[in-house]
Amino acid sequence: MTNSKLLFSLLLAGSVGTVSAQSLKDARAAIEAENYGKAKTILQQLVTKQPKNGDNYFYLGQVYLVNDRADSAAAIFNQGLTNDPKATINNVGLGYVDLLKKDKANAESKFALATAKLGKKDYEPLLEIGRAYINTPEPDYAKALEYLTQAKAKNTKDIAIPLALGDAYRGLREGSLAYTSYGDAMDIDQNSVKAKVGQAIIVRGAQAYDEAVTQLEAITAETPTYAPTYRELAETYYQWSKMPGTTDEKYVELNKKGVEQYKKYLEVAGDNTLEAKIRYADFLVYSRQYDELKTVSEELAKNPSVDPKIYRYLGYIAFQKSKDYPKALEYLNQMFSKMEKDRVIPLDYMYLGMAQIAANSPKPAAPAAGADSTATDSTATVAAPVLTPENTANIQKGIADIKKAIDGDKELLGEVAELAFAKYQEQELQTAASLFELVGQYKDNPTYLYDANYYAGEAYFQIGSKEEAASKNEEGAIVDQAQKDKAIATLNKAIGFLNVIETTDNKEAQDKYLVNALYYKAFSALTADNLESPKGDFVPMFQKLIDTINQRGSQEKNKSYLVDAYTYIGLYHYMKQDVAKAKQNLQKVLELDPTNEGAKAYMDAMK
CATH superfamily of 197-288: Tetratricopeptide repeat domain (1.25.40.10)
Residue scoring higher pLDDT (141 or 119): 141
H/E element, 87:
none
> What's residue 375's pLDDT?
35
For the chain, the distance separating the N- and C-terminal CA atoms, rounded to the nearest angstrom, is: 75
pTM score, whole prediction: 0.74
Q: Read off the pLDDT of each residue in 173-188 and give the average, rounded to a whole number.
A: 95
Summarize pLDDT for 425-441 with one digit per residue, the tens: 988 888 889 899 999 99
Q: Residue 363: which pLDDT band, with cuts at 50, 70 and 90?
A: low
Summarize pLDDT for 63-119 with one digit per residue, the tens: 999 999 999 999 999 999 999 999 999 999 999 999 999 999 999 999 999 999 888
Mean pLDDT of the chain: 88
Q: Report the distance separating Cα 369 and Cα 381, nearest Å.
A: 9
Distances (CA, A) of 424 to 125, 460, 518: 54, 11, 20
Q: Does residue 8 have a pLDDT over 50? A: no
DSSP assignment letter at 509: H
Q: Report the distance separating Cα 6 and Cα 26, nearest Å.
A: 20
Q: Report the distance separating Cα 232 and Cα 214, nearest Å.
A: 12
User: 201-210, 342-351, 380-389: which range is least confident on average?
Assistant: 380-389
Q: Report the distance separating Cα 248 and Cα 241, nearest Å.
A: 9
Q: Report the distance separating Cα 229 and Cα 213, nearest Å.
A: 10
Please give the CATH topology (third level) of the domain spanning 531-607: 1.25.40
Distances (CA, A) of 466 to 102, 206, 388, 429, 529: 48, 51, 16, 11, 14
Q: Residue 386: which pLDDT band, with cuts at 50, 70 and 90?
A: low
CA 522 to chain centre: 35
Residue scoring higher pLDDT (367 or 413): 413
Burial 457-481 (b: 16+ CB within 10 A, else e): bbbbbbbbbbbbbbbbeeeeeeeee
470-479 contacts at long range (C-beta below 8 A, 24 or more positions apart): 470/381, 470/382, 470/383, 470/384, 472/381, 474/370, 474/381
> What's residue 137's pLDDT?
87
> What's residue 530's pLDDT?
86
User: 6-15, 21-30, 33-42, 331-340: which range is least confident on average?
Assistant: 6-15
CA 233 to chain centre: 21
CA 395 to chain centre: 19
Please give the CATH topology (third level) of the domain spanning 1-190: 1.25.40
| Phi/psi at 485 (5° precision) | -65, -40
Distances (CA, A) of 433 to 153, 391, 440, 490: 59, 15, 10, 11
| Phi/psi at 367 (5° precision) | -60, 145
> What's residue 163's pLDDT?
96
Q: Report the distance separating Cα 48 and Cα 87, nearest Å.
A: 17
Q: Does residue 385 have a pLDDT over 60? A: no
How many of the other CB atoms lie within 10 Å of CB of 161?
A: 27
Q: Read off the pLDDT of each residue in 529-550 and give the average, rounded to a whole number.
A: 92
Q: Does residue 504 have a pLDDT over 70? A: yes
